[in-house]
Amino acid sequence: MATCPSCGRYFSADTNACPFCGARLSGGMTIRAMRFAALALAALGLILVWWFAAHSPIPTLKIGQAQATMNFAYVCVEGQVTRAPTFDPDSDTLSFWMADDTGELLVSSYRSTTQGLIGSDQTPGIGDRVTVEGTLRVRPDSASLTLYSASAVRVQRAQAKPMDIGQIDAACALHAVTVRGQVRAVRSPYKGLTLITLRDSTGEIDVAVPEVVTQLYGPVVELQPGQSAEASGVVTLYKDTPQITLARAGALRASVDFIPVAPPAHVADLGTRAGQWAAVRGTVVKVNPFSAGVKFTLDDGTGRANVVLWRDLYAVLSPTLQLTEGAQVAVQGEVSLYRGAVEITPELDADVTFIADASPTPTRAVAFVPMNQLTSGDKGKLVAVRGKVVAMIPFSKGMKYRLDDTTGKVILLLWQDVFDALPDAAKLAKDAQVSVTGTVDVFDGEIEVVPESAADVQVIP
């Protein structure tokens, strides 16, 4: 309300003339003008707030610094993707874990943001370095961040380093690598995961293909055991065992190159290589079926090794493999020692090859060795010795004889099946002269010579 200076009456202050006497009024701001001024000032304030918000830098946060007071803050976080992402196609939800040197954070996107990431090929994969901006949510035991724009994600792809499989260990975790090998197995331990086992001449490793890879990028190439392949991915650990996890479908490729899975070797050199793989070739000198498959003895001229074909593998090989004495065969597999003899266990049918056009491998005449020259370093070698039986030592799985050739003593070890096959076992008594060809072994500090068959033991009249 205002008072007219002419008539003294009260009137509304939003007019320029007295409604009673008509006197003109001037000098004051009307309420209407004040309203417009207030609206303009408020609009200007909002514009300034928006401008400062849009142009102020987004705070960069270390994951370990997240606190409850920061709930719903819009922040920037940098780190490395530590696990394969998960994707729900029904809700278009994409989630992945990232970590820096202070902690780990779950990052999620939804609907249009997820589709934007997929369409722009900015979907983070395991091992990638990422910078993300979003709204922080802090709970007592974890922190998470929600993305609202595909442009709020910047991805630096991991660069893979070529490596031999045998070089990969736990220290390589979260490093990107490329390996080349032969497919040994393809299996799915549970829905959503495929494991492809690759082997080269240095070792073996599983390549993990999580379901999210096929959901986001389409199917990976189909591979069969025996094929050569190349895989690029990030080393992860499964119960402390290294494996390679694919981040993208195109990171697994078939190869036309032949990739050997075992280094070539002579049988005489295999005694100290138990647990390793080797490839040998030679002549079949004995075939021995048993309840779980077939075992045959291979002679490569430097020594003899038993090749074990388990029943399921032999069933695949038997229609094509001419497994008879005198046949020439190339085999590769894991080396082991059983009863002092070298064994090779092939894994696939491709690990056993019949050499149809090969000339027979000459079997080297094994020279007799004085017993005092045999040492533990000769373990696994094929040798021949002559001596007199000076002691007989029965044991639960066969018979032992102590032989003496005047230069030294060794143990002649006959497993029960070999002893039972001796045509003149009764003649193998104390003071008998014996000639033996067998493989050197060491037990309780004593040198043993272990013949493969009864034909390797001769009693000298």
* pLDDT tens by residue, 215-232: 999 999 999 998 999 999
- pLDDT tens digits for 111-161? 999 999 999 888 999 999 999 999 999 988 889 999 999 999 999 988 899
pLDDT at 305 over 80: yes
Q: What is the pLDDT of residue 360?
A: 46
Estimate to the nearest angstrom the gap between the alpha carbon of 2 and the chain centroid. 88
Estimate to the nearest angstrom the gap between the alpha carbon of 65 and the chain centroid. 34
- pLDDT tens digits for 191-200? 999 999 999 9
Whole-number Å distance between alpha carbons of 354 and 321:
6
Q: Are residues 151 and 170 in the same domain?
A: no
Q: Which domain holds residue 349?
A: 267-354
Contact 396, 405 (CB under 8 A): no
pLDDT at 443 over 50: yes
Q: What is the pLDDT of residue 58?
A: 81
Least confident span in 203-207, 244-248, 370-374: 370-374
Q: Are residues 209 and 239 in the same domain?
A: yes
Q: What is the pLDDT of residue 63?
A: 93
pLDDT at 19 over 80: no
Domains identified in the chain, total number: 5
Whole-number Å distance between alpha carbons of 271 and 284:
19
Instruction: Give a yes or no: residue 360 inside a domain.
Output: no
Instruction: Give a yes or no: residue 346 inside a domain.
Output: yes
Average pLDDT of the segment spanning 413-438: 86
CA-to-CA separations, 271 to 129, 333, 413, in angstroms, rounded: 47, 14, 17
Q: What is the pLDDT of residue 6?
A: 66
Q: What is the pLDDT of residue 426?
A: 84
Instruction: Give a yes or no: residue 292 inside a domain.
Output: yes
**Among candidates 387, 370, 381, which has minimal Cα distance to 442?**
381
Beta bridge partner(s), residue 137? 144
pLDDT at 68 over 50: yes
Q: Are residues 83 and 144 in the same domain?
A: yes
DSSP 398: E
Average pLDDT of the segment spanning 2-25: 64
Q: What is the band of 25 on the pLDDT scale with cuts at 50, 70, 90?
A: low
Q: Are residues 124 and 102 in the same domain?
A: yes
pLDDT at 33 over 70: no
Whole-number Å distance between alpha carbons of 345 and 320:
19
pLDDT at 351 over 50: yes
Q: What is the band of 361 on the pLDDT scale with cuts at 50, 70, 90?
A: very low
Least confident span in 26-40, 253-267, 354-368: 354-368
Instruction: Give a yes or no: residue 236 inside a domain.
Output: yes
Q: What is the pLDDT of residue 85?
A: 94
Q: What is the band of 403 on the pLDDT scale with cuts at 50, 70, 90?
A: very high
Whole-number Å distance between alpha carbons of 437 and 455:
9
Q: Tokens 């309300």 label which residue?
A: 1
Instruction: Give a yes or no: residue 13 inside a domain.
Output: yes
pLDDT at 240 over 60: yes
Q: Above pLDDT 90, what percent of the chain?
A: 52
CATH code for the domain of 205? 2.40.50.140
Instruction: Give a yes or no: residue 364 inside a domain.
Output: no
pLDDT at 44 over 70: yes
Q: How many Cα neighbours within 13 Å face the side chain of 88?
A: 9
Whole-number Å distance between alpha carbons of 97 and 174:
13
Q: Are residues 278 and 324 in the same domain?
A: yes
Q: For residue 157, what are its two tokens?
A: 């792809």
Q: What is the pLDDT of residue 363?
A: 44
Q: Are residues 344 and 314 in the same domain?
A: yes
| Helix or strand holding residue 417 (H, E) | helix 416-420
Q: What is the pLDDT of residue 455?
A: 77
